[in-house]
A = this chain, B = another copy of it.
Amino acid sequence: MAMATLAQHQHSPDDTIHGHGLRMTGQRRAVYDVLMGERNHPTAVEVFTKVRGQVPNISLATVYNCLETLTDCGLVKIVTHERGPSRYCPNLEDHAHFFCDSCGEVSDLPLRARKRPQDVWEVPENITISHHQVAFRGECPKCAKKKNLKSEARNLKSK
């Protein structure tokens, strides 16, 4: 019984794709596995080079197609940031993204419990909201630490 309940909510990616009348092909699985493996928000080209290890003669266009079907089926989210290339994210929880300006790393920031974006921005009542995309930019802890070490070194030298 517990299983039946689980099965309803926890579809395998195969089931989800089949539910959309499509097939789980080798290429699609490989692309999905790369995303699930590295949760680094890779670009299409990064997925492409990674996935070539598994499917040596997959084409970039196919990677784009796979990423599109996966997003259409709701298995993957597409993340855009300023003018850069799109990135892909298999985290289906509601979350924002943080982009480090110095190292380029992207990380997920979860939504706080019982909070909604509308609590912070004035959204008129008669507007229907279907999606939101939230991006923060700044400096990640690693880069901040590096910078501090450098300036310490400078101070020692100048003595």
Contact surface of A with B, Cβ cutoff 8 Å: 78, 80-83, 86, 95-96, 98, 101, 109-112, 115-117, 119-124, 126-141, 144
| Identical chains in the assembly | 2
16 residue pairs bridging A and B, Cβ less than 8 Å apart: A78-B82, A109-B122, A110-B122, A112-B121, A115-B119, A123-B136, A124-B141, A126-B141, A127-B139, A127-B140, A128-B138, A129-B137, A132-B137, A133-B134, A134-B134, A134-B135
Q: Out of B116, B128, B135, B137, which one reaches A120, CB within 8 Å?
A: B116
A109 to B121, CA, bound (A): 6
Query: CB-nearest residue of chain B relative to A143?
Result: B128
CB atoms of B134 and A138 under 8 A apart: no
User: Chain B residues near A121 (CB, 8 Å)?
Assistant: 95-96, 109-112, 115, 134, 136
Query: A112-B119, A120-B117, A129-B138 in contact; A86/B83 too (CB < 8 A)?
Result: yes
The 7 closest A-B pairs by CB, nearest first: A126-B141, A129-B138, A131-B137, A115-B120, A96-B121, A109-B121, A128-B139
Could you tell me the distance between the alpha carbons of A139 and B124 in the complex, rounded to whole angstroms? 11
Contact of A112 among B122, B127, B134 (CB under 8 A): B122
